[in-house]
Structures are given as structure tokens and as C-alpha cells.
């Protein structure tokens, strides 16, 4: 999965199509991501103590990673990302402009 926590992404499909947001959590085992302000669901929370009130919390739910695209930091547009390996390290590279999103050394 080429999307990581902290990435700025564009939502390509679904009810929140066209929105951008920051990835709060990446779930690579199920190929899903949680994006800030996207796919927000209401959770009803019961009062736990006598002096506490119940409340409705708005929590972002996960969406499939194929429904988001990484927003390139240099060209500021949604772009496909390619993984490029050089020796013992690899990097995510923007297909549109060729800018490196990040580099990771494996060793």
C-alpha cells in the first residue's frame, strides 16, 4: 500500500468525492485508510457516571485505499505514485512530476 499516515490525500470516489484530507491511520492488512473529515459517522455514547451526559460523537470511519490518491507536495495535484528502488532504499515518486514523496532506507 502506497498511502501512509500523515499523507495528504484526495478522495476519488464515494459520497465524499472531491474532498482532501490528512490520513489519520493506515490499515495495510485490510487495505483501508482513515482520512480526517471523510466518511464521518455518528457514534452514540452512553453516560458512564451519574453526573455525566450521553453524547453523539462524530468519528471518521475507514475507506478503501483504492478510493484515495496522494496529493503531490510539489505540483499540488492528485497523482499516481510509483515505488522506485535504488540499492537498499526505496522511495515513493510522483508519476506526474517525478518529485520524491519520501525515501526509506531498508537495511
Q: Write out pLDDT tens, residues 44-94.
A: 999 999 999 999 999 999 999 999 999 988 888 999 988 888 778 888 888
Give the phi and the psi of residue 65 in degrees, each rounded to 5. Answer: -65, -20
pTM recorded for the entire structure? 0.82
Q: Is the pLDDT of residue 106 over 70?
A: no
Q: Write out pLDDT tens, residues 4-56.
A: 999 999 999 989 999 999 999 999 999 999 999 999 999 999 999 999 999 99
CA–CA separation, 66 and 89 (whole Å): 25
Domains and CATH numbers, the chain: 1-71 (2.30.30.30), 75-107 (no CATH)
Cα–Cα nearest to 11, from 3, 21, 24: 21
Counting other chains too, the contacts that 88-95 makes at CB distance below 8 Å and 24 or more residues apart are 92/2, 94/70
Amino acid at each position: 500500500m502506497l498511502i501512509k499516515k500523515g499523507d495528504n490525500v484526495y478522495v476519488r470516489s464515494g459520497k465524499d468525492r472531491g474532498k482532501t484530507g490528512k490520513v489519520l491511520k493506515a490499515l495495510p492488512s485490510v487495505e483501508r485508510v482513515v482520512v480526517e473529515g471523510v466518511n464521518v459517522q455518528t457514534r452514540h455514547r452512553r453516560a458512564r457516571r451519574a453526573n455525566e451526559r450521553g453524547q453523539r460523537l462524530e468519528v471518521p470511519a475507514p475507506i478503501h485505499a483504492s478510493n484515495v490518491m496522494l496529493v503531490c507536495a510539489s505540483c499540488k495535484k492528485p497523482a499516481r505514485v510509483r515505488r522506485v528502488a535504488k540499492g537498499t532504499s526505496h522511495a515513493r515518486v510522483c508519476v506526474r512530476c517525478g518529485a520524491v514523496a519520501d525515501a526509506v532506507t531498508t537495511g
